[in-house]
């Protein structure tokens, strides 16, 4: 037995239970890992809350505890052979979904189907009886502690309980966690924002641990390996966990398990976004909301990895070039990337001179932000004298430039900030009206400032917390 965080019902953090679970021994292609660090992610919260569906509840996915949970159930199952899924309708009308491969690999579960297991139609209803054939004494010897969720809700639903996880089978490993990652998605699952299929369950989407057992015939992973994993299967809020061996990656000795566990899911998300969802190339302008957050900070580093802006001294010019000379101090941003270097070859028409009165540190840090602000006030929406302009995050890098620029163009500038210190900065940068959005209703204040007319344009670099309500501040064009 090992300890795991388990979810028995969908809800907030209070449904997480620390329990003993049985995870078994790894089979062919698997390893058993003792976690050092786990990563916590939003997706964990989504499963805990039921926004995303887990196969069964309670869950730490892909562990024999699931079989115990469904043991001796008799009900109507809907089989989808295309996706190899088994959908079970409980007596209380709840729906459970299990992969057929998962069921067939569980040695301690026997299934009896009322019709042929060779399905000819795309969907067929069959009667299934699940029978747990493993002895209770064997189960009791494989218990660990886990945080379990028996009902959706706040942190109070998290319970530290014993759960059964069994031994790894073919292609699996058993891992003893050293560190787990905590993510917003864990909260979403606990609260029910994201759905899990069954409750109780063990949340957690990433961790680092030590392999303590491997499945029969497995190569490539061995007892003692330190590995990291993220995503599916969920269930890292536990002392130990059974995992598919091909879902873990080795953690180099130079990497702290706590760092590795906290960055896996975020790193996978960032990689998907910049290389697969939209392949970021040199010259692209990239806007990252919540840029100081977990994923946001990685996105910023990744997108800027080759460098996009710098200030330097011209040390050589091409044949016949006029307008630039050796010794000029110039700034550049965007294409070509590559400013993370001592020197760089650049197209002469891509640089601008830096006046002697401007500190190179200031110039280098402001180029991309200035280009962004210029695009917003001159091309995205052309700010004119008399316009009312609302700038969220008015004391930020782009926000402070927007305030100065819009003010210089003759607009009335309204800015929102989170602290009094930032309010002072926004005032200095040209905001005529500054709203502390944590202390007052910015929609009401904007309408008051504009005498109910609203603003002509909103520049929002915050996103989720402001986007939906910001519409209420905009000026509505009259119908013709």
For residue 472, what is the DSSP state? G
Q: How many CA atoms lie within 13 A of 102 on its CB side?
A: 23
What was the pLDDT predicted at 135?
Answer: 32
What was the pLDDT predicted at 297?
Answer: 84
List of residues 6+ apart from 3 with CB closer than 8 A: 18, 19, 20, 21, 144, 145, 146, 160, 162, 163, 238, 239, 240
Distance (Å) of CA 214 to CA 26, 28, 119, 226, 317? 4, 8, 34, 13, 62
For residue 64, what is the DSSP state? T
Which tokens is 472 given? 């209420």
List of residues 6+ apart from 103 with CB closer than 8 A: 86, 109, 111
Residues β-bridged to residue 435: 416
Strands 388-392 and 457-459, bridge-based pairing: parallel
What was the pLDDT predicted at 301?
Answer: 79
Give CA–CA dist 366/303, Å, rounded. 17
Q: Which domains does the chain have, with CATH numbers?
A: 2-250 (3.90.180.10), 309-367 (no CATH), 381-473 (3.40.50.720)
pLDDT in tens, 362-382: 877 788 888 889 989 998 889
pLDDT in tens, 33-89: 666 545 455 566 767 787 766 666 776 532 222 222 332 333 333 444 433 444 444
Give SS3 for 142: coil
Residues of the chain with pLDDT under 70: 23, 26-44, 46, 52-56, 59-142, 305-311, 334-338, 340-341, 463-480
Give SS3 for 469: helix
Give CA–CA dist 365/299, Å, rounded. 18
Q: How many CA atoms lie within 13 A of 416 on its CB side?
A: 25
Phi, psi of 5 (to 5 degrees): -85, 125
Give CA–CA dist 317/106, Å, rounded. 71
Q: How many CA atoms lie within 13 A of 132 on its CB side?
A: 16
Residues β-bridged to residue 226: 210
Calculate the CA 95 to chain-centre distance: 27
What was the pLDDT predicted at 310?
Answer: 61
For residue 478, what is the DSSP state? P
Give CA–CA dist 213/474, Å, rounded. 60
What was the pLDDT predicted at 37?
Answer: 45
Q: Annotate 195-221 with three-state secondary structure.
A: CCCCCCECCCCEEEEEEEEEECCCCCC
Q: Is the four-CA dihedral 32, 34, 37, 38 of positive or negative sign?
A: positive
Strands across the sheet containing 351-353: 309-313, 329-333, 351-353
Q: Is the four-CA dihedral 207, 213, 219, 221 of positive or negative sign?
A: positive
What was the pLDDT predicted at 472?
Answer: 58
243 contacts 229 by C-beta, under 8 angstroms = yes
- Other beta carbons within 10 Å of 346: 18
Give CA–CA dist 203/5, Å, rounded. 6
- Other beta carbons within 10 Å of 300: 16
- Containing H/E element for 401? helix 397-408
**Angle, helices 397-408/420-428, rounded to nearest 10 degrees:** 40
Give CA–CA dist 133/95, Å, rounded. 24
8 contacts 57 by C-beta, under 8 angstroms = yes
């Amino acid at each position: 037995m090992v300890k795991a965080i388990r979810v028995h019902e969908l809800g907030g953090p209070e449904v997480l239970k620390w329990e003993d679970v049985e995870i078994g021994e790894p089979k062919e292609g698997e390893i058993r890992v003792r976690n050092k660090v786990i990563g916590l992610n939003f997706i964990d919260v989504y499963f805990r809350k039921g926004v995303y569906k887990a196969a069964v509840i309670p869950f730490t996915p892909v562990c024999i505890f699931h079989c115990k949970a469904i043991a001796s159930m008799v009900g109507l199952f809907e089989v989808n052979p295309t996706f190899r899924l088994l959908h079970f309708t409980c007596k209380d009308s709840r729906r459970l979904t299990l992969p057929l491969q998962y069921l067939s690999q569980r040695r301690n579960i026997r299934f009896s189907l009322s019709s042929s297991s060779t399905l000819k139609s795309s969907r067929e209803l069959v009667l299934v009886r699940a029978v747990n054939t493993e002895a209770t004494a064997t189960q009791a010897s494989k218990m660990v502690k886990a945080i379990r969720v028996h009902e959706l809700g706040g942190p109070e639903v998290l319970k530290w309980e014993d759960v059964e996880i069994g031994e790894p089978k073919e292609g699996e490993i058993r891992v003893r966690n050293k560190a787990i990652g905590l993510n917003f998605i864990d909260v979403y699952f606990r609260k029910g924002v994201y759905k899990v299929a069954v409750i109780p369950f063990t949340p957690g989407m990433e961790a680092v641990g030590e392999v303590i057992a491997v499945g029969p015939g497995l190569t490539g992973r061995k007892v003692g390996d330190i590995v990291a994993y993220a995503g599916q299967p969920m269930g890292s809020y536990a002392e130990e966990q059974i995992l598919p061996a091909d879902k873990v990656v080795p953690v180099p000795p130079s990497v702290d398990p706590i760092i590795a566990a906290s960055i896996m899911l975020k790193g996978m998300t960032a990689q998907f976004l910049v290389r697969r969802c939209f392949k970021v190339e040199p010259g692209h302008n990239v806007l990252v909301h919540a840029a100081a957050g977990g994923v946001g900070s990685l996105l910023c580093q990744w997108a800027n990895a080759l460098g996009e802006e710098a200030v330097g001294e011209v040390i050589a010019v091409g044949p016949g070039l006029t307008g630039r000379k050796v010794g000029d101090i110039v700034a550049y941003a965007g294409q070509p990337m590559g400013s993370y270097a001592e020197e760089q070859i650049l197209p002469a028409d891509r640089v601008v001179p830096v006046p002697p009165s401007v500190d190179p540190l200031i110039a280098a840090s402001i180029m991309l932000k200035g280009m962004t602000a210029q695009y917003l006030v001159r091309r995205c929406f052309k700010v004119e004298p008399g316009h009312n302009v609302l700038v969220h995050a008015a004391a930020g890098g782009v926000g402070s430039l927007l305030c100065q620029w819009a003010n210089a163009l003759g607009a009335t500038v309204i800015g929102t900030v989170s602290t009094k210190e930032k309010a002072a900065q926004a005032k200095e940068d040209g905001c005529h009206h500054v709203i502390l959005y944590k202390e007052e209703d910015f929609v009401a204040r904007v309408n008051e400032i504009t005498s109910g007319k609203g603003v002509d344009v909103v520049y929002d670099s915050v996103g989720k917390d402001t986007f939906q309500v910001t519409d209420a501040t905009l000026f509505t064009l009259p119908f013709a």
